[in-house]
């Protein structure tokens, strides 16, 4: 996705669905917002191609004051179900599935499911 288009997309998503996508986030091709409302994507987040994101999900940094900010990387084909929170410098690998309302704080292996608080 071109960087010039991100501010326009961010504005449109914020107005229409209450979404907030930072212009510094990197979104791949064919990222699908299945129910586009309440999605928050922070500055350093990388979301690769063909990822599916459901409503009320958050992708962001950990917020520790004494540590540099670090953001998640979501690899190709992952599915993030509603209400999931993906926090910090972790990787959700290819084709992983994050369950609804899960809180992800560590890497999620390729082709696996992660559910719960914290997600396992």
Domains of the chain: 5-114 (2.160.10.10)
Q: How confident is the model at residue 18 (pLDDT cuts 50, 70, 90)?
A: confident
Q: What is the pLDDT of residue 85?
A: 98
Q: Which of 73, 48, 50, 49 is nearest to 60 (CA)?
A: 73
* pLDDT (average), residues 98-113: 98
CB atoms within 10 A of CB 28: 15
Residue with tokens 């191609």: 49
Query: Which pLDDT tens digit goes with each residue over 19-71?
Result: 888 989 999 999 999 988 899 999 999 999 999 999 999 999 987 788 888 99
Q: Bridge partners of 86?
A: 59, 104
Beta-carbon contacts of residue 67 (< 8 Å; ≥ 6 apart): none
């Amino acid at each position: 996705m071109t960087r010039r288009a991100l501010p326009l997309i961010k504005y449109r998503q914020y107005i229409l669905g209450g979404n907030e996508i930072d212009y510094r986030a990197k979104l791949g091709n064919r990222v699908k917002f299945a129910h586009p409302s309440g999605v928050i994507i922070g500055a350093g987040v990388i979301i690769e191609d063909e990822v599916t994101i459901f409503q009320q999900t958050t992708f962001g940094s950990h917020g520790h004051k004494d540590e540099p900010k670090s953001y998640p990387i979501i690899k190709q084909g992952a599915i993030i179900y509603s209400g999931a929170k993906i926090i910090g410098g972790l990787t959700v690998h290819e084709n992983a599935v994050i369950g609804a309302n899960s809180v992800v704080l560590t890497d999620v292996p390729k082709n696996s499911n992660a559910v719960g608080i914290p997600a396992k």
